[in-house]
Structure 1
């Protein structure tokens, strides 16, 4: 068993009764008895708990991986049959010095990620269990490391997809984020490559050039792993030191082998140069020996002794015999790495899901989900087609009566001293709603939210201004010719346009707020009267002298009272109607009809690819919604009745006005004005409350969407800063290259003479090309937020 490589520690989790948790979901969301699936539920609990029994000390065979693959397959099925956030799973992060957690997340996808991690961890342990003294053991070890890298590659792909989905609300723990997972991928590839290198040096026939190329590639994998480890908060120091030593070790090994090639080609100066680089790499490696395994240090010290001995001999021979110029590192021919490994994704992850294994009789959650969507459509239909029109009719009749000074005009005439019941009802309703205090509190909340929105917009603008400032500074420093990237106005045209729209929306909202405040101030005095109760109303409403009405106006008033009574009856009927429709809506769920349709025509509800076709349920919904045709008829009938009453009131009220002007006196007029003012203030009070609630919703929505714009602006600034850094580096490299070229053009080539005895032939497998570089695909988010 090898001791100079690393394995990934298993994550830890506690046993849970998964079957019981699934049972609760079935009962609460699927409307089916969980007892029908008792065997499946027991199987789930047993399988999940068997996964928790796998420990870092118990892994010796492939059976543990088989158990994990079985559970992975089950989770894939659960994800298709149950809501993705229906179950909470808790796992400990174990990469660091001590376990962190448990990190509990309500997500089946989170459980899947952890199981894939477990499989990758087990593969890394199996790789270390193989013998490194036999070719077969090295071959299996290499295969296991590549399979481990494949597992972490799958995690990286899944997490990238989750993070790029704006509709995803799954918070990914840090040990699954890019830097940590990328570190593990590169580490597994480095160790897989190291087994290839080990196999190569065990063979007497492998050329030094091949070993050098294998070594430099191994070093590069360790280097990539180290870069990601430095960006992660979860890779511990002893691992980072181990990876660092491995990076320098194989860098030294590559140059040591290259020194042998140079010696065999009589390139004595290059031999010394390679050995010096190797010696320098070993010196750097030894600075990180703290907490590192003794076997790793033994390997390094063994190479160190060889390099030191070879370097002393080479330098002595070159100084005394060959007298060759020792080139600088940059002038040496690059060692071209050759990769023999890659992440291997096991076929187990891509197998089609087995059908009818567990919960085969469970109604697919897509049916439940679609039923919920249809239920929302039903609610929206009733709201927009019936409930809101009914409420609008009530508002129309209130406005209609208020414009005609009803009922205050006849109240003033018929009740010269008593306070009308309508006014008393208004007073009680205003006090129950919170009166003036509720408006002042809402205005204060709106003011605070408005300030927060302004600050949010300013923060967005600050990011753009910061980039503009930094870009202009660098443009002046480097010159417009070299600094050849778009300026801020062009590069940030999309977020700038969004910020402009945000400012426009806020200005419109500010204007609306000012109108509301003005209206509130206009009715503040009547509201204070309402809040004072009976005593305050008696003081505000003047009494009038009793006027004996003639028979004609008395009949008109009686007729108006009758129509107003009919209006009150309409309102009462509508209140009862809205209550009844709420009950009817609640009692008429479309789900049972969808279940019946699913059972009758199960095969016809899926296309050739097995995708559910929701359009098949449209006819059922259309038929279901006809249940409310009688309510639609009521709407039309009550609207017609209201229009007829309004027409009659309009006619009789004109007669009343003609008669009223001949009978009214100054005290009666004052009483009518007071009553009318109170009526109007009550209506405006309700309108202001509605407007303020709409304002609160606007500002809260603004903040939600504005935070997305702020995130976009921050990402833009971060991206531009990375661009600036890369562009500055590129400019400096170009300037340095130009300076070197200029120096070479005026400096004589001292190596061009006196070296005719030197054999310039290269080893057949060493090529003069640029070093291989690996480019990683970095996700570049492209937000298309349309504000508002």
Structure 2
């Protein structure tokens, strides 16, 4: 509601709880910058003081907070260039008009961890402070009205800049799909801006009227501009999609409608005066009739909770219109005899708007107003972000172009050797009996890692954790399903339910659960693939982890008679050549390992890139930087890393050539050893055990990753389940409240209508006032006298004392002796009494009035 001494609306501020930035800012500085956070202790403390001064006690002293809010806002505009927007903790802001809630606990106010969110809400409160400043100005002098007009225009400028500049930045920072509070939507802010502008125009109109020097035709144009602006406010409220009218107090809606009618009528009234001065007496009367119809509509709306000043204003206008109409009609009938035209044929009034949103002082250049800024020695976050982007791209490049390339080359070499059955074929020929040392070493590694039992235990842990996570997700779905069933039952009971359907209210929770469900399904599919791989190789891995005697028994040996003199055995020539080629593969692998190490060290320790970014920032100016400004420089720096990828490509060519040589040599080797079945079986067994070792390592790594995934996922799923529980509790409390409202006794009993004689006190009217009759005798006597009834000690009461009601202490009256008998035709039916308007408040948005 507006202040008692003015007839205009003041936007209320949004309250917030005390919050300190210290912990989050210190963490950012210590984690991302070489400077320790203690170097900025004074700046951090000053920022906390600025927020406290700007937001503490704003409800009581809003007009005195303009300077504090302005200073804090300008520091934020500079600070957001120095720190990432996501730096602050969660910053809660309650809505200006809190909605009714039936939950047992009050809903938490909207809160976000973002400087853009803080800036938007501070701008909101600064606009509210300017509107309160306008409300504190008097309305009796032109100087005070001028100050009020400028204050309203400043508020309008705040809300326009918030709507057009900061709101898109906030939506971009939080995500375009994230819903914002209704009071931070474009439609709501447009209403606030228009409301401030129309009240500024109204101040100018009031000053023009009070001055007494302006012509009626000019005042009419000013009044029409006020009316049209109020009309635009009304349209913005009801035409918005989705509608936002329910987010305003109903008294505000009535206020705006009354003002709209008032100023449309005032414009016609003033133009009628101008027409009379111009001897257009017929037009004068037509406009007065039009003004009377408009003011009548506004007077009817004024009965719906608007301030007394607004009601008095329109009543005064109505009186003036009626007096002018009587005078004009009398003069025209007696003297002028001009025809009164239809209202539609009257020349239109040209509105004259003299207001515009005022720019925010210091918005474009906060330093000019502040002089100095906080965190001036802190590297702008855009520069820090550009450096981090460069570092991340270097890491990604190193991973993709060097590390992964090296791993792909190693996999290619391993796969080629497995296809060629190398070096197992060479081991089988060189060692026709016994086991190769390389195989014995691999078997020892498997035994030390835990062998088959280790993998089986990991599988059991993965299954257990996966089932536990699935149970958490199922619990969350069950909670939502149960609440949905309860909501359907509540609606089926016939109770009026003014709240969203479950599938609408829990959409965010369902979307989150669906996302987790997809992740869990992907994890189960991965588990099945790992299990299939394990089942395929489990039997061979069991043999690999056995002792040396068991392995020798599994791997066939070539009989002593089959052994040949290596110097006279032709395949040994190719064996020696293949061994040389295989050793060269090891040399290439070592070369790639050194290349990886050198590239990683060079990329990690090269400071030139960061230095170049900082130098460009200094050239551009530190206060207006964005990470995108450094994109070209980053790409140029990244191109310098190609020298390392060229070296890795050279290694790839060397490996490809070496593998081709091995294939050719192995083909000659196989042609000479093709007809030795015992040797082939030995080769197969050795190769099978070698592959089993690699599969064991893969499965072990896959299961470890799976455990880490399920352990991390458990926390997210548990949080989801708890959120579902809390949401369902609030919904049940809300439903219980709706049921309790249905079962509450009516404010007045709905007994069958009684028959009463005309203009006589009725027995039914007394029975409906049960609470009054229960009161003390002295108070009851007072009320009885007001009803025209005898006192409690009167002989008119039956038996000398009122008897007690069976179910209450209500006293029952006997019929007065002067009333007709009950079956007399003199009695008439009385319509049911309505509950007293002062004893019942409308609930929710569906009621006619919210009681603001």
- TM-score > 0.5, shorter chain as reference: yes
Report if aligned partners of 1:212, 1:254 keep a CA contact under 8 Å in 2: yes
Mapped partners of 1:434, 1:326: distance in 2: 97
Match of 1:13 in 2: 16
- Assess, with a 3 A threshold, how the Cα gap between structure 1 residues 236 and 572 changes in structure 2: closer, same or farther: farther
Equivalent position SS for 1:75:
helix
Mapped partners of 2:613, 2:237: distance in 1: 55
Aligned ranges 1:4-403 → 2 under 5 Å: 4-59=7-62, 61=64, 64-88=65-89, 90-97=91-98, 101-159=108-166, 161-162=168-169, 172-230=180-238, 231-232=243-244, 234-285=247-298, 286-287=300-301, 289-311=303-325, 327-353=341-367, 357-403=373-419
- Assess, with a 3 A threshold, how the Cα gap between structure 1 residues 402 and 283 changes in structure 2: closer, same or farther: farther
Mapped partners of 2:683, 2:587: distance in 1: 31
Report if aligned partners of 2:283, 2:341 keep a CA contact under 8 Å in 1: yes
Mapped partners of 1:289, 1:581: distance in 2: 84
Mapped partners of 1:543, 1:622: distance in 2: 53
Aligned ranges 1:501-650 → 2 under 5 Å: 528-532=535-539, 534=541, 546=558, 548-550=562-564, 551=566, 552=569, 555=572, 559=576, 562=579, 566=583, 569=586, 573=590, 584=601, 588=605, 590=607, 594=610, 605-606=619-620, 635=648, 639=652, 642-643=655-656, 645-650=658-663
Residue by residue over 1:49-82, the C-alpha shift from the partner in whole angstroms, topping out at 9 and shown as x without a partner, is 1112242322455xx3222222222212212211
The structural deviation recorded for 1:649 is 2.4
The structural deviation recorded for 1:570 is 5.7
The structural deviation recorded for 1:375 is 0.8
Equivalent position SS for 2:673:
helix
The structural deviation recorded for 1:555 is 2.6
Mapped partners of 2:249, 2:266: distance in 1: 26
Mapped partners of 2:72, 2:623: distance in 1: 25
Alignment: residue pair count: 599
Residue by residue over 1:508-544, the C-alpha shift from the partner in whole angstroms, topping out at 9 and shown as x without a partner, is xxxxx9xxx9xx99x9998743245557999xx9987
Q: RMSD of the alignment, in Å? A: 5.1
Mapped partners of 1:382, 1:432: distance in 2: 36
Mapped partners of 1:25, 1:682: distance in 2: 43
Structure 1 unaligned regions, length at least 5: 442-512, 694-788
Report if aligned partners of 1:159, 1:177 keep a CA contact under 8 Å in 2: no
Aligned ranges 1:597-746 → 2 under 5 Å: 605-606=619-620, 635=648, 639=652, 642-643=655-656, 645-664=658-677, 668=681
Match of 1:744 in 2: none
- Assess, with a 3 A threshold, how the Cα gap between structure 1 residues 525 and 350 changes in structure 2: closer, same or farther: closer
Residue by residue over 1:745-786, the C-alpha shift from the partner in whole angstroms, topping out at 9 and shown as x without a partner, is xxxxxxxxxxxxxxxxxxxxxxxxxxxxxxxxxxxxxxxxxx
Report if aligned partners of 2:116, 2:170 keep a CA contact under 8 Å in 1: no
Structure 2 unaligned regions, length at least 5: 100-105, 467-521, 545-549, 707-852
Report if aligned partners of 1:214, 1:339 keep a CA contact under 8 Å in 2: yes
- Assess, with a 3 A threshold, how the Cα gap between structure 1 residues 270 and 640 changes in structure 2: closer, same or farther: closer
The structural deviation recorded for 1:582 is 9.6
Residue by residue over 1:676-713, the C-alpha shift from the partner in whole angstroms, topping out at 9 and shown as x without a partner, is 99899979x99xx9xxx9xxxxxxxxxxxxxxxxxxxx
Mapped partners of 1:193, 1:258: distance in 2: 18
The structural deviation recorded for 1:195 is 1.1
Report if aligned partners of 2:383, 2:617 keep a CA contact under 8 Å in 1: no
Mapped partners of 2:540, 2:555: distance in 1: 17
The structural deviation recorded for 1:201 is 1.8
Equivalent position SS for 1:348:
coil
Report if aligned partners of 1:526, 1:678 keep a CA contact under 8 Å in 2: no
The structural deviation recorded for 1:86 is 1.2
Report if aligned partners of 2:85, 2:115 keep a CA contact under 8 Å in 1: yes
Equivalent position SS for 2:200:
helix
- Assess, with a 3 A threshold, how the Cα gap between structure 1 residues 597 and 163 changes in structure 2: closer, same or farther: closer
The structural deviation recorded for 1:250 is 0.8
TM-score by length of 2: 0.59
Q: Which has the larger radius of gyration?
A: 2
Mapped partners of 1:166, 1:39: distance in 2: 28
Mapped partners of 1:381, 1:408: distance in 2: 37
